[in-house]
Structure formats: C-alpha cells, structure tokens
Homo-oligomer: A and B are copies of this chain.
C-alpha cells in the first residue's frame, strides 16, 4: 500500500517540481510589490499566484504570498535566497522562500477518537495533503493497526496529567528523531505544557470541537447541548499557552435542533471537526497562513 500512496504523492510532487513559494511580512511602504516582482522577473521566475494584504491600522503591516514557477528551483534555490537577502533587509522583511515539492514532515498526536486521524490519512492517501506523515504518537493503542498498515511508524507514549513532563520528554525526543516540521493534535485530548509549546511556535495545529470562543475547555458538546444552541461547530487553531485562545485558522458549523442530545451533537460534530482540521492542515502545508498578533492571514 505504501507504494500506491507514494505514487499519488509523487505525481503531485512532480507536478509542482518547479514551483516556489515566497512569504513576506514587513512594515507597509510603497514599492514592495515592485521590488519583489521585478526581482523574480529578472531571475527568470514567473509569478503564477499572488496574494497580499495590508492592515489599515496606523502602523500598517504588509503581507505577501507569491507562488512562482522557476525552472532552476531544484538546483539553485539557496542562491536565489541569497540574492533576495538585500531586498528583504531594505524592507525589514520577515520572509521565507521554499520549494513546493519539499514535503513537510508531520507528527500526528491522537487519543482514542480516530475520526480526525482517519480523515488526514485518507486525504493524504488521495494525494491532497502534500506532506510526509512521519510518525503518529498516541497515549492509546487504538490507532496502532490502522497506522502501521499504511507503513507509518506508530509510537505509544503513555500520557496523563500526572506524568505530563515525562510524556513530553519522550514526545519531544520523537519529534527530534523524526525531524518534524509540524505537529497536528487530531483530538489528542491532553494539555501540552508551555515548555513543549514554546519549542514549536505556530507549528502545532489543534482542532477544538466548538466554534471558539464559545465553549472553551472541556466538554463543549455537552455544554452546547445544555445551552440549547442551534448551531454547533469546530475550530482549528495554532496552539499557544492560553487554552483554546491561539490564532484561529478555520471554523465551520452545522445546524442542530432540540432533538439532538449531547451524543447526537458529538456525532454531527465529528464531520465538521474532520473537514475543518483537514483544511487547516492543508493550508499550513501549502504555506498559506501567516500569523500576526494572535490572528491568521489565510491566503487561500
């Protein structure tokens, strides 16, 4: 089965082999687009998609995402980056330039509820998630068979609030061992410590089963039922040290009514959680998200 998967992903990679991405964040001032686009043009790169956004506060900030086609990208990206450095400095840019075909390495953390994991695996098998799923880590054995059947390493790490530090030590070691670029909490259900989070700023994606900021914390479906809401939702966000307060990437909702008890809400919610998380992860993998002041700019 591994072969089949690699085949589809491989096809996608090849399709994007000459594609590069540039992400820029800097103070707004005239001439940025001109400088960047002229730079790319002069180096023979063709802009195929470009999105920008400027905050209109006094201290306006400028954000730019460009996808470009460049035949020399596989050999000469580092050189292009060096040449761009002076421009970046003159505009005080925070920036990154990367190859679309370089797959990010994902670690998926999961507990006993597997619907979000299944969705990610399925989208990945279909070639829609351009990532390498490097490892799945869980404090239960439930996912083991499914994960290993796909040839993905599975690690059981016992975790609960009493042994949090010890568990995170093992987890961090695994993230290092597998050289992980981003962590997806696919209904992991354990709180991470600040020590863990600080090592991966804007790299840990969580799915919370409510339309935040409603129902922060535990048991959102039960509380949604008790409040008698007519919509339930799910929110995917980057994890920060404030529980469920990190930058929101994506949200969606579904309609419910008085006949739906907490169990029914949970069931309906699963479908929303799956698609919201899958979209958020996809956008992260495609470098479509910039975080600014606890909010996301999503160029999708």
Contacts and interface: CB of A to CB of B under 8 A. Distances in A.
Interface of A: 1, 30-31, 33-34, 37-38, 40-42, 44-54, 56, 115, 118, 122, 126, 128, 145, 149, 211-215, 227-231, 233, 247-253, 257-259, 261, 267, 270-271, 275, 294-298
How many copies of this kind of chain does the complex include?
A: 4
A263 B252 CA distance: 22
Nearest to A236: B230
11 contacts: A1-B145, A30-B46, A37-B38, A211-B253, A212-B214, A214-B214, A227-B248, A228-B295, A228-B296, A230-B251, A271-B275
A277 to B, nearest CB: 13
Contacts of A258: 53, 295-298
A34 B41 CA distance: 7
Contacts of A298: 230, 257-258
A118 B118 CA distance: 10
> Which label, helix, strand, loop or mixed, suits the secondary structure of the A interface?
mixed
A37 B33 contact: yes
A259 B34 contact: no
A14 to B, nearest CB: 15
Nearest to A249: B230
A251 B231 contact: yes
A47 B37 CA distance: 13
Given A228-B247, A229-B212, A52 B47 contact: yes
B231 A252 contact: yes
Nearest 7 A-B pairs (CB), nearest first? A228-B295, A214-B214, A34-B37, A34-B41, A33-B37, A34-B38, A230-B251
